[in-house]
Amino acid sequence: MNAPLPTAEQVTVALGGVKDPEIGRPITELGMVKSVSVAADGAVDVGVFLTVAGCPMRETITSRVTEAVAALPGVTGVRVELDVMSDAQRAELQTSLRGGKAEPVIPFAQPSSLTRVYAVASGKGGVGKSSVTVNLAAAMAAAGLKVGVIDADIYGHSIPRMLGVSGRHQKVADMIMPLAGHGVKVASIGSIKPDGNPPVVWRGPMLHRALQQFLADFYWGDLDYLLLDLPPGTGDMAISVAQLLPGAEILVVTTPQLAAAEVAERAGSMSQQTRQRVAGVIENMSYLVCPHCGEQMDIFGSGGGEAVAEQLTRISGAKVPLLGQVPLDTKLREGGDDGMPLVLGDPSCPAALELKKVAESLSARGRGLAGRMLNLTPR
């Protein structure tokens, strides 16, 4: 005799044994089960919400759901249909993961905060965004300003090495202490995760929580400037920055080649959706000065930074300046590897002078609320 068909309730109970591979809690508790239906022939359809599109654990989740449901008597087949959570569902999940506790307070997001926040963004990797971030921070600190850097590129974190920072973040009472290098306070997942350089395989809610912890649980003190080194593109972290720090200003880093500029333009254009101000564009790897004849060579073409600035000016309706054009210099890379920013290691070379010029331009705006966007929408 054939085994009786399972009920939808029995299937749901079986799904309670399937844990999210990242969060480690049953998918039924996390609101990830969208639907369950049992056909007359014993085929079971299960709808599952993924926390983000393109989830790297989608195959693992599908496999675990299939295995759990297929083990029930009377099941002849399992079909798993994947969907993606809405923003409201993700917010509910984050509240659940916090145990229903209120959102932690982010001092930099308060109306009274005088700290100027710059989110350093790029459309693609390999444009030197982290090198620019580190040198801007080091130049500001050398000028006597109080500066912090958050390594928000969780997957590709590199700020601790580039600032010569080692050791682990320590907890004092309920606060986590940033590390410090060359007068710059630093927070990075690289100083939290286990030794051995394991990869970080996280999705949207975990990335959001990591940024939230950097901002709210770390003791930063009274900073003049906070720089965030964002991952390339317009993904989860860029969205989280807009949600948690709506007053943050965007610095777009690109290279001279037009292909890179087109991608950088998309990263900058996202500010229109998030109602954030683009503080300016920095063109890195602008040219190479021949060591023999002194001629300036445009290795990666020319005009990319200016094109991005002009396009973002047109899109936003506000002037977006080209803040600087940083030439190629092997010492910039060497300084990053050695933990000595170029602006400190060789402050008179052309690349360092240009980076210091950009830092001076940004810091000349000073602390305060003047000039910041109000994030208001006209009726």
Residue pLDDT, tens place only, 72-116: 999 999 999 999 988 888 878 877 766 666 667 888 999 889 999
Average pLDDT estimate for 35-49 = 94
Within 10 angstroms of residue 8's Cβ, the number of other Cβ atoms is 13
Asked whether residue 134 carries a pLDDT value surpassing 90, the answer given is: yes
8-97 is classed CATH 3.30.300.130: yes
Structure token digits, residue 9: 């309730």
Q: How many CA atoms lie within 13 A of 335 on its CB side?
A: 24
CA separation for the pair 63, 68 (Å, rounded): 9
Asked whether residue 57 carries a pLDDT value surpassing 90, the answer given is: no
Domain boundaries along the sequence of the chain = 8-97, 107-363
Q: Which residue has the tokens 């410090």?
A: 180
Residue 339: left (phi > 0), alpha (psi -120 to 50), or beta?
Answer: left
Task: Name the nearest CA neighbour of 282 among 261, 259, 311, 301.
Answer: 261
Asked whether residue 361 carries a pLDDT value surpassing 50, the answer given is: yes
Average pLDDT estimate for 201-227 = 82
Its pTM stands at 0.69
The band of 68, judged by pLDDT with boundaries at 50, 70 and 90, is very high
3-state class (DSSP) for residue 172: strand
* pLDDT at 370 (0 to 100): 47
pLDDT digits (tens, 9 = 90+) for 255-310: 888 776 676 666 666 766 677 888 999 999 999 887 788 788 888 888 888 988 88
Which CATH superfamily, name and number, covers 107-363? Answer: P-loop containing nucleotide triphosphate hydrolases (3.40.50.300)
Whether the Cβ atoms of residue 280 and residue 320 lie closer than 8 Å to each other: yes
* pLDDT at 357 (0 to 100): 97
Average pLDDT, rounded, for the chain: 84
CA separation for the pair 261, 123 (Å, rounded): 8
Where is 151: in which H helix or E strand?
A: strand 147-151
More confident residue, 51 or 66: 66
CA separation for the pair 27, 21 (Å, rounded): 10
Give a three-class secondary structure readout of 102-124: CCCCCHHHCCCCCCEEEEEECCC
Pseudo-torsion of CA 319, 325, 331, 335, nearest 10°? 0
CA separation for the pair 178, 134 (Å, rounded): 15
